Chain A
Amino acid sequence: MGLAMFDLWHKIKQNLFLKPQPGFTGGIVHHHQFKVTAGLPIVACPLPDVLMHPIKQHIGEPCEPIVQVGDRVLRGQVLAKAQGYLSVPVHASTSGVVARIEEHTIPHPSGLGLTTIFIHSDGLDEADESLYPMPNYRSIDVVELRERIRHAGIVGLGGAVFPTFVKLVQDQKHRVDTVILNGIECEPWLTCDHQLMNEKSHEVITGLDIILYLVGAEKGIIAIEDNKPDAIKIMQTTLLDMGMDKYIEVQVLPTRYPQGGEKQLIQAITGKEVPAGGLPMHIGVVSLNVGTSKAIYDAVCLGEPLTERIVTVSGDAAPSPVNMSVRLGTSMHFLLAQVGIQSLDGIKLIHGGPMMGELLGHDDIPVVKGTNGILAMRETTVLSAHHAESPCIRCGDCGEVCPAGLMPNLLAAHCKEHQFERAEDYNLFDCIECGACSYVCPSHIPLVHYFRYGKGQVAQIQREKAFAEASRLRSEKREARLAKERAEKEEKRRIAKAKKEARAKALAEKQAAEAEAMNMQAKSASETENTDNTTQKRKPEETA
C-alpha cells in the first residue's frame, strides 16, 4: 500500500514538473537478434581486380568525374569532385588504371544505374599521400578541419549517407552542447559498429573528440545498447585510459528497435524531441555514427580519405558469416565469395539490415559508403516472411509501435487512395521508414511501402506543378509574342492601306487637275505653259 502510494506520488511529481522524460514512444523488441557475427574479429577483405565507384554515394548532388579512361590513380585520389554544397568527392579505393566510365547498377531499390568509374587494380595499393596528418587537431582551425572532413568524402556511415561536414558547424543561433555517438546498431544481423567499437575504440573516441572540438560542444555521449556488454566495457576502459572520461561518457540503453534512428536516439538520451522538419542542431545536439567517427579520425589524424568501411556479411545462407573491412567499390559477388557463396541459386540478397534494407536483384553491384551489411538469406526464409496483404482490422498495433508517434494505418489508407494531401496532414514526412509498423501488422499490410509511394508521389506532383508552371509561362509568352506579331502586321497593313488610299487620292486629284488643265487648255491657250510645269513637278514626287 505504502509502495503504491509512493509510486502514485512519484507519478504526480513527474507530471507536475513536466520534465522531458528520456525514451521514445513505440518501438519493438526483437526476441531474436540473429547477431551471429557478434564478437567475430574484423577480417580484411582481399583486394579485388576491379573496383566500381559510382559518382554518387551520398544524399545530395552527384559528383563530376575528373579522371579519364587510361589514367593511373592512387588509393585516396579524388575520382569525381563534389558539385554544389551538399556533396562530397569520391575517391579511388586502391591504385590502378581507370578502365572505363559507364553506367552501372548501384544498390538502390529502383535497380537503376549510375555513372560508375571502373578501376583495374595494379595490386600495388599505392596511397596518395597529399593529405598531411593532423594529430594535434585541437590546434588547427575548425574551418580547415571541416574542409578536410569534406575533402575526405565522409558521409554518415550508419546508412543514411548524409554529408557529415554539413552537421559539423558552429552556429551562433543554435549552440550545440551535446554530441551523441551512435553505437546502437539496432538492426538485427548487423554487427559492424559493434565490432568496430571492440577493435577500434581508441580511434572512435579520438574521432568524437575531434567532433566535440569542431562543434564547440562540452559533452560527448557514446550510446550503446545493453546487448553489447563487451563493447560497453571496452569503450569505458579506453575512455579511462585516454583520460577523457570527464567529458565523454558511455550511456547504456535497453535494446529496442529503432533506437539507432537519429531522432529516436536523441529522444532516448535527452528526452527532447527533434521538431518536425527541424534538425538535431536546433535542440543543441549533433549525432553521428561510430563508423563516421572512426572515418573522421582517419581523415584528420592519418590523412586518409574514406576508401574502406566495415561490412557485416551474414545471413542464414552464408556458410561462414563475418565482419569484413572492405574497400569501397568491391563487387558484392567478390565479397560473397569470401564467405563461401558462389552462386545465388535459392538466395535473396539484402543490402543493409532486414528491417530497412532493400532487396538486390543480382550481385554485380559495388559496396558503397552506405553499405553496412549484406545479408544472403535463403529464398524460403524471405518467402516465409512474405504474406499477401489483407484488410486492416484497426487493431492499432502499428500506432503503438510507431517511434514517430504517427498513425500508420490511416496514413497508409490515404496513400493507397491517392489522398496525398491528407497523408501530409497526418505528417507523412515525419515517417522514418523504420518498418516497425509493417513488422507488427497482423494483416501483413506493407505499410512502409505505401509511405514510400506516397512520399515519392508528393515529390512527383511538386515537380509536375513546377513543370506546368514553366510551360504555362512559356506558352503565355509565346501567345503574347504572336499577338504582338499579329498587331505589327495589322499595323503595317493599315499603313500600307493608308498609303495606297493616299496614292489613289493623289492620282485622282492629278487626273482631275489634268482634266481641268485640258479644259483650261481648250479654253485659253495663253495659260498652257504653266499647267504643264505643275504636272511635271508632281510626277517625281508620286513615284518616290
Chain B
Amino acid sequence: MELLYPILIFAVLALLIGLGLGLASHYFHVEGDPLADKVDALLPQTQCGQCGYPGCRPYADAVAAGEVDINHCIPGGERTMLEIADVMGVEPKAIEEEETAPVVAYIREDECIGCTLCIKACPVDCIIGAPKQYHTIIADHCTGCALCLEPCPVDCIDMVETPELLEHWSWPVPGTKRANKAESRKASHGVSHV
C-alpha cells in the first residue's frame, strides 16, 4: 500500500505535465522550421544550385534536418560554413572548392535572339526582355549563379568579374594576392600622359 502512493502521485504528475506539454505544443506552435530559417538567413542567396539543391532554401532545410554536410555552399565560402557550424552546433568542415572572385552575368546583346529562356532560368528575376527583343541583365541584382548560361541557345552570356568600386573598396590583408594586385594597379592606373 505504501508503495502505491508514490506511484499514484507520479502517474498523476506525469499526466498533468503531459497535458501541459500537449497544450503548449498546440498553442505555441511555430510554423515552419526555425532552425532552417536561421540557416537560410546565413546563406548568400545566390540560388545557384552548386550545393546540389535547387536553391538556398531547400539546402537550408536539408542542413537543418541534418541530411547534408554544412560545407556545400561554395559562394558562401568559409565564413558562411563557420556561421552555419555555429548555428547548428556541429564541427566546421573544410570547403573543397576554392572561393572565386565575385562575378555577374553579362549578355552580349547583339548576339541575343530574344528567346526568353534565360529569363525563365534566372532565380532572382534580374533579366529583363521580351520575346524577340534583346534581353539584358540588371548587374546590381545578379547573384552570379550562372544558371542562365546553360539554357542560352546561342551562348551569348558571359560571366564577368565585378569591378572593384571606389566606394566599396576595403583594405586587403597585407601580403595577399589582392593586396599585390592593388599595389601593381597603384603604380600604373590612370596615368593621363599630359
Contact check, A361 vs B187: say whether CB atoms are below 8 A apart.
yes
Does any Cβ of A come within 8 Å of B160's Cβ? no
Stretch from B5-13, B64-72, B106-114, B165-173 that touches the partner? B165-173
Q: How far is the CA of A372 from the CA of B187 in the complex (A)?
A: 22
Q: Which of A89-97, A110-118, A213-221, A306-314 contacts B (4 or more CB under 8 A)?
A: A110-118
Residue among B126, B164, B172 making CB contact with A474, cutoff 8 Å = B126
CB atoms of A478 and B123 under 8 A apart: yes
Quick one: given A111-B186, A361-B188, are A471 and B173 in contact (CB under 8 Å)? no
Tell whether A449 pairs with B45 under 8 Å between CB atoms, given A362-B191, A460-B168.
no
> Across the interface, do B191 and A477 meet the contact criterion of CB distance under 8 Å?
no
Most buried by A among B165, B170, B187, B188: B170
Residues from chain B with Cβ under 8 Å of A452 in the complex: 170-171
In the complex, chain B residues whose CB is within 8 Å of the CB of A460: 168, 170
- Tell me the residues in window 166-187 of chain B with beta carbons closer than 8 Å to chain A beta carbons: 166-174, 182-183, 185-187
Are A456 and B170 within 8 A (Cβ)?
Answer: yes
Q: Are A470 and B141 in contact (CB under 8 A)?
A: yes
Of chain B, the residue at the smallest CB distance from A452 is: B171
B56 within 8 A of A: yes
Q: Which residue of A lies closest to B187 (CB)?
A: A361
CB contacts (< 8 Å) of B46 on chain A: these are 471
B194 to chain A: closest residue by CB? A50
Whether a CB of chain A sits under 8 angstroms from the CB of B189 is: yes
- Minimum Cβ distance to chain B for residue A364 (Å): 5
Asked if A491 is at the interface of the complex by the 8 Å CB criterion, the answer is no
Interface string of A459-500 (1 = CB under 8 A from B): 111011001111110111110000000000000000000000
Contact with B along A165-183 (1 / 0, CB 8 A): 0000000000000000000
| Cβ contacts under 8 Å, B100 to chain A | none
Size category, B interface: 35 or more
Q: Is B192 an interface residue (CB 8 A)?
A: yes
| B47 contacts A by Cβ under 8 Å | yes
**Which B residues from 95 to 120 make CB contacts under 8 A with A?**
none
How far does the Cβ of B69 sit from chain A's closest Cβ, in whole Å?
A: 21
Residue in B43, B143, B174, B183 whose beta carbon sits within 8 Å of that of A446 in the complex: B174
Chain A's nearest CB lies how many Å from the CB of B166?
Answer: 5
Q: Does A35 sit within 8 A of B, measured CB to CB? A: no
A418: Cβ under 8 A from any B Cβ = yes
- B120-146 interface with A by 8 A CB criterion: 123-126, 141, 143
**B contact residues around A105 at 8 Å (CB):** 189-191
Shortest beta-carbon distance from A342 to chain B in Å: 16
Q: How far is the CA of A13 from the CA of B169 in the complex (A)?
A: 51
CB closest chain-B residue, reference A389? B174
Chain B residues near A362 (CB-CB < 8 A): 186-188, 191
Within 8 A of B (CB), among A372-397: 389
The reply to whether A109 and B192 form a contact with Cβ atoms under 8 Å apart is no
B59 vs chain A, min Cβ distance (A): 12
Residue B190 contacts which of A103, A471, A478 (CB distance < 8 angstroms)? A103
Give the number of chain A interface residues (Cβ < 8 Å).
47
Kindly state the separation between the CA atoms of A105 and B191 in the bound complex, as whole angstroms. 7
Q: Is B79 an interface residue (CB 8 A)?
A: yes
Q: How far is the CB of B176 from chain A (nearest CB, A)?
A: 10
Q: Is residue A104 within 8 Å, beta carbon to beta carbon, of the partner chain?
A: yes
Contacts of A389 in B (CB 8 A): 174
Residues of the A chain whose Cβ atoms lie less than 8 Å from the Cβ of B189: 105, 111-113, 361
Please report the C-alpha to C-alpha distance between residue A331 and residue B191 in the assembled complex, in whole angstroms. 11
Q: Within the complex, what minimum Cβ distance (angstroms) separates A66 from chain B? A: 21
Q: If the complex has contacts A112-B164, A112-B189, A362-B191, are A475 and B56 also in contact, measured as CB distance less than 8 A? A: yes
Q: Is A127 an interface residue (CB 8 A)?
A: no
Given contacts A364-B192, A477-B125, contact A463 B45 (CB under 8 A): no
A472 touches B45 (CB 8 A): yes
Across the interface, which residues of A come within 8 angstroms of B55, CB to CB?
A: 475
Residues in chain A near residue B124, CB distance under 8 A: 471, 474-475, 478
Looking across the interface, which residue of chain B has its beta carbon closest to that of A112?
Answer: B166
A109 vs B167: C-alpha distance when bound (angstroms)? 12
The listed residue (A359, A453, A461, A475) touching B171 by CB distance below 8 A is A453
Bound complex: CA of A416 vs CA of B176, how far in Å?
12
Partner among B44, B141, B171, B192 whose Cβ is within 8 Å of the Cβ of A464 = B44
Task: Please report which residues of chain A, range 346-368, place their CB below 8 angstroms from some CB of chain B when the two chains form the complex.
Answer: 359-362, 364
CA distance A113 to B141 in the complex (A): 24
Cβ-based interface call for B40 (8 A): yes
B168 and A111 within 8 A (CB): no
Bound complex: CA of A468 vs CA of B83, how far in Å?
Answer: 15
CA distance A452 to B191 in the complex (A): 27
Interface: A108 (CB within 8 A): yes
Q: Is A72's beta carbon under 8 Å from chain B?
A: no
Q: Taking each of A359, A364, A469, which has the highest tally of chain B beta carbons within 10 Å of its own beta carbon?
A: A364
Q: A455 to chain B: which residues have CB within 8 Å? A: 170-171
Does A457 touch B at the CB level, under 8 Å?
A: yes
Q: Across the two chains, which residue of chain A brings its CB closest to B126?
A: A474
Complex alpha-carbon distance, A463 and B169, angstroms: 12
Chain A residues, Cβ within 8 Å of B172: 453
Residues of B within 8 A of A467 (CB): 45, 143
Closest 10 CB pairs between A and B?
A456-B170, A111-B186, A361-B186, A105-B190, A452-B171, A471-B45, A468-B45, A113-B190, A361-B187, A472-B45
Q: Contacts A111-B183, A112-B164, A475-B47 known; list 19 others, CB within 8 Å.
A: A110-B186, A111-B189, A112-B185, A113-B190, A118-B192, A359-B186, A360-B186, A361-B185, A361-B187, A364-B192, A449-B174, A455-B171, A460-B168, A463-B168, A470-B141, A471-B46, A471-B47, A474-B126, A476-B57
**Chain A to chain B contacts (Cβ below 8 Å), 9 pairs:** A110-B186, A360-B186, A361-B185, A362-B188, A453-B171, A460-B168, A471-B124, A475-B45, A475-B123
